[in-house]
Structure 1
């Protein structure tokens, strides 16, 4: 609505109109349409380059957002390359200590982890954290966020126990600085629960997610995406703790709510459907798992395309559960 009025009042080339187009693109992605977000950012970037030039702060912001959503649609290598380019220009135009430059470094580190280099991501986040502590201070929200992303990459690099320790320390500081109900604090609690499970304590992970779910329901409400995500994590760790049938039932419930709240094409809905299929198989219904993955593959192909990593994963899992449904050991 505001974009329509910006176009009418200010015209298509006004900086505020371009900024509004970027915001529309960003929220398209957040609403579950990463493909639409990429297309929209590509269009607004072309106009920003034409109207504002490559070094304008708004152009640099759009370039960073475009890079992020390229990764989200299944091109993490392209995201890394794009973030490397925009970081070079940010360093030249804005300097190394500008907060947006630091943020770009964090995004670059994250996508390096996503392309299969968690050790490199750990190193990049360690260097970034040193600069954030110097520039922003220990209690700045961006510094706290960076500590969390570093802890995650430590876990991804094969040190789940180290991730648990890092998140425990981080959570203490978040409670002091941000408070118990802040979204970042709740996110840190979820990450701590996850890495507890990955470190070999599925019962502890399930208990932690159960406590977190109660607080998310109170703070965010039952239909918030983070609440739905927490329910999915709780279902998974209940299964890992020895209750696969309970996991199936819980995933059925959260999937129904994801379909109602987010819609069938939202990435979180597709992910939840895959988890539901896996636990059907793990609970002894390999044929049901295969049937669910057959439908999911159709949806993933339509929404994300043939080249997306989640499409490849759905294909693999469909074959896996088909083989299991015939009673043969998977290769």
Structure 2
């Protein structure tokens, strides 16, 4: 009830069912509406359905409870409505008298508000034209004006509070209360999944809750319906509520209105392109690249129009354009209804293909793709209504998305996506499809997953894929084709890193003989088979045979491929590693210096080879007694890797552990132990607790504890590591045997050990 003496005029909304107070926004509104000696105006802005009117209504009701002199509510959407509302206020306030002209009566009402000595409130709901509003705002006195609008230019009329979506907790609470589906009927996960699908939009949640309540649906049932039906069939206007239409109609109306102004065709194209891209946002550069036939100034103007209409928002730096997922859904539904979804999808696939970075993954491009993977995945999801036949053309992009994730070292995600992509290919190209295209695309999908597993060091999972790849290549191209020989070479490498060294040796020996027979001793396939065989000898601990073969590989590469070929550069780096392994550290340092000089001459500074070979050069410096130089170099490399690749990139993690090893060699034990502990925690978090590199970090930590004289802690650490090695890679892997020998030495030690050979990082 209004407080005694409060004049309430207009269609002030009642408090809705399950009203969410949104205390933070109410506090922000209170601050914006503080009286500052003159009439105050504030605008609540935001897209359709975010709850602007409900928040304004809550504020108005609170002013009534506070006993303000006047609370007047005027709907200001259409021209003339403000005059009509003020005319009504003039009548209710007794200042209209004999005035017949509505505009004169409105002016009298405004003047009356300006003269009131008590605080009062004028609400202009859903303002459509800021220019019309400006004329009727009280300019003097203690009357405050609160506006709501989807037009952001009302911000010029006063303070602004931008209204976003519910928080997840607010959305779940609202959904449960309105739908009357409580915790016993469904778990929190189902409610959260639904509110996230609806983007936490208050209007969409209200209408969804009403459908759930009326039809007795579970959240999961409604979610399935929403995902597979047009939005207008899944969300209906709630009878009795003041909102005049369903969320689909409301948003579609806003979109259509935005497309009728200046640059209408460009607005339409931009809206449709953004609807097919990631809801996390589209970088402005990518939006410009999507429409190369449009001037950059026009695209900037279009982004401004969409922002003004609250159909998109901008990131804090203004570089990313974000469209609410429900608005995206409405635009896609319209494309489907108009029969234009497939054409737009094909255009977007071409656009995304053009945005792919021109790199093979050897450059440090941590943020260079602007979320390109997310755009590819969003396009795939958006094309679902068209069916698998129409989505065949997107499969190559899906495979590329796996590569992009590997390149960014999002390895868990890359593996998950790789499994999904392979399943997509096997569904779209069933085993009964004997076409060459189907087989080649499925082969590519299997190799994408295999390489994701390899990058994540899930070698046991990669082995069967590598084995199947050999079979597939042989069937498609024949056993002596270069591609088949490369597949066999990859299988041998995967077997080696998986710890199956005898099998790897057999595969590489046979593949080297086949490559020589088919392509000759100087062919690239032969040189790759040769260096991988040398690597397997090294892994087995057969250093004499490994060294001879590495030296031959360098000579053969220089003669057949030339001194600057990538294969030759790699061969020289591997030989330097072998020199350091057998104690020829000074020779290793010289070879690394020559290699890095050539890399600087041939490649850009952002090339990852500098990080890879730089850390091994530092290790050789350390082995040759130049430990301080090694520490300085590793600190520089670590800073560069953290900046270029990120703090959690596997390359960064490796450099960090190389630095810890150098600190241990320099007897900086406390610093080394602290850094090893961080390395263990980082690798457990990023790679997993049972990853081989995580176990190696723990083994290094145990040996450093031993060298520092903390024998009991070291023994406990090494016992735990040995048990995990045996479970993860087997009792007879060289790493396991090395860890076992470390534990024996630790148990036998009677005094601190100051010189230890640390295992590989």
User: TM-score surpassing 0.5?
Assistant: yes
Superposition pairs for residues 110-149 of structure 1, below 5 Å?
110-149=493-532
Q: Distance in 1 between matches of 2:582 and 2:565?
A: 26
Equivalent of 1:274 in 657, 673, 679 = 657
Paired position in structure 2 for 1:49:
426
- More divergent stretch after superposition (320-329 vs 279-288): 320-329
Q: Secondary structure at the match of 1:144?
A: helix
**Shift >6 Å, 4+ stretches:** 8-12
Question: Once the 2 structures are TM-superposed, how far is the Cα of residue 99 of structure 1 from its aligned partner?
Answer: 3.1
Equivalent of 1:74 in 453, 457, 478 = 457
Q: Distance in 1 between matches of 2:487 and 2:705?
A: 43
User: Does residue 1:222 correspond to 2:599, yes or no?
Assistant: no
Question: Once the 2 structures are TM-superposed, how far is the Cα of residue 213 of structure 1 from its aligned partner?
Answer: 0.9
Equivalent of 1:233 in 601, 616, 624 = 616
Question: Once the 2 structures are TM-superposed, how far is the Cα of residue 250 of structure 1 from its aligned partner?
Answer: 1.6
* Higher fraction of helix: 1
Do the aligned residues in 1 keep the contact of 2:402 with 2:452 (CA within 8 Å)?
A: no
Q: Secondary structure at the match of 2:478?
A: coil
Paired position in structure 1 for 2:679:
296
Paired position in structure 1 for 2:405:
28
Superposition pairs for residues 297-312 of structure 1, below 5 Å?
297-312=680-695
Question: Once the 2 structures are TM-superposed, how far is the Cα of residue 12 of structure 1 from its aligned partner?
Answer: 6.4
Do the aligned residues in 2 keep the contact of 1:87 with 1:104 (CA within 8 Å)?
A: yes
Cα distance change on mapping 1:98 and 1:112 into 2, 3 Å: same
Task: Using structure 2 for the length normalisation, give the TM-score.
Answer: 0.41
Cα distance change on mapping 1:89 and 1:231 into 2, 3 Å: closer
1:60-99 Cα distance to aligned partner (Å, 9 max, x none): 2221331232233232222223322343444445432233
Cα distance change on mapping 1:11 and 1:221 into 2, 3 Å: farther
Question: Once the 2 structures are TM-superposed, how far is the Cα of residue 40 of structure 1 from its aligned partner?
Answer: 1.8
Q: Secondary structure at the match of 1:233?
A: helix
Question: Once the 2 structures are TM-superposed, how far is the Cα of residue 182 of structure 1 from its aligned partner?
Answer: 1.5
Question: Once the 2 structures are TM-superposed, how far is the Cα of residue 262 of structure 1 from its aligned partner?
Answer: 1.5
Do the aligned residues in 2 keep the contact of 1:161 with 1:195 (CA within 8 Å)?
A: no
For structure 2, the 5+ residue unaligned runs are 1-351, 354-371, 715-745, 747-761
Do the aligned residues in 1 keep the contact of 2:477 with 2:484 (CA within 8 Å)?
A: yes
Task: Using structure 1 for the length normalisation, give the TM-score.
Answer: 0.90
Question: Once the 2 structures are TM-superposed, how far is the Cα of residue 137 of structure 1 from its aligned partner?
Answer: 3.4
Question: Once the 2 structures are TM-superposed, how far is the Cα of residue 16 of structure 1 from its aligned partner?
Answer: 4.3
- More divergent stretch after superposition (277-286 vs 135-144): 135-144
Paired position in structure 2 for 1:186:
569
User: Does residue 1:40 correspond to 2:429, yes or no?
Assistant: no
Q: Secondary structure at the match of 1:71?
A: helix
Do the aligned residues in 1 keep the contact of 2:450 with 2:466 (CA within 8 Å)?
A: yes
**Structure with greater contact order relative to length (CA < 8 Å, sep ≥ 6):** 1
Q: Distance in 1 between matches of 2:476 and 2:604?
A: 42
Do the aligned residues in 1 keep the contact of 2:653 with 2:679 (CA within 8 Å)?
A: yes
Question: Once the 2 structures are TM-superposed, how far is the Cα of residue 127 of structure 1 from its aligned partner?
Answer: 0.3
Question: Once the 2 structures are TM-superposed, how far is the Cα of residue 326 of structure 1 from its aligned partner?
Answer: 4.4
- More divergent stretch after superposition (305-314 vs 105-114): 305-314
Question: Once the 2 structures are TM-superposed, how far is the Cα of residue 146 of structure 1 from its aligned partner?
Answer: 1.6
Question: Once the 2 structures are TM-superposed, how far is the Cα of residue 247 of structure 1 from its aligned partner?
Answer: 1.6
Q: Distance in 2 between matches of 1:296 and 1:267?
A: 11
1:260-297 Cα distance to aligned partner (Å, 9 max, x none): 11111111110110110111111101111111122222
Equivalent of 1:174 in 546, 557, 560 = 557
- More divergent stretch after superposition (11-20 vs 178-187): 11-20
1:142-197 Cα distance to aligned partner (Å, 9 max, x none): 22222111122122222323223222222223223322222111111101111122
Do the aligned residues in 2 keep the contact of 1:22 with 1:44 (CA within 8 Å)?
A: yes
